[in-house]
Amino acid sequence: GAVVSQHPSWVICKSGTSVKIECRSLDFQATTMFWYRQFPKQSLMLMATSNEGSKATYEQGVEKDKFLINHASLTLSTLTVTSAHPEDSSFYICSATTGLSNSPLHFGNGTRLTVT
């Protein structure tokens, strides 16, 4: 079945540094990728929708200059958390789909970000 690989699975960084998270679709072309943030015992919060070759669409309240998203190819999207602060510590999850009607949405295994 379709697989989405997310890397790294866990990262600890110092406050003020930037962290890049990669999301790869391994066996299908992901026209659309989504980035979510999830706090403990809460549901997924959509941060942005990324279509290959175009700028990401950010949800209200998500700072696009802080959470940089690049979707340069049909198999790779990256989320860069710039100038990270402790409040950015969270579980970040990507998902990918071909964008076709009735096409399943596949998730990566998430990245646990801890900012110290």
Partner 1 sequence: GESVGLHLPTLSVQEGDNSIINCAYSNSASDYFIWYKQESGKGPQFIIDIRSNMDKRQGQRVTVLLNKTVKHLSLQIAATQPGDSAVYFCAEFSQSGGSYIPTFGRGTSLIVHP
Residue 43 phi/psi, 5-degree rounding, is: -80, 175
- Residue 59 engages partner 1 in binding (rule: CB under 8 A): yes
Residues 73, 1: Cα–Cα separation, whole Å: 21
> How many CB atoms neighbour CB 16 within 10 A?
10
Pick the piece of the chain touching partner 1 (CB under 8 A) from 11-19, 46-54, 63-71, 72-80. Answer: 46-54
Residues that bind partner 1 (rule: CB under 8 A) add up to a total of: 34
Binding mask 5-24 for partner 1 (x = CB under 8 A): -x------------------
- Residue 99 engages partner 1 in binding (rule: CB under 8 A): yes
Residue 87 phi/psi, 5-degree rounding, is: -70, -10
| 78 contacts 24 by C-beta, under 8 angstroms | no
Strand partners, 37: 45, 92
Binding site residues, partner 1, CB under 8 A: 1, 4, 6, 32, 34, 38-39, 41-46, 49, 51, 59-60, 91, 93, 95, 97, 99-110, 112
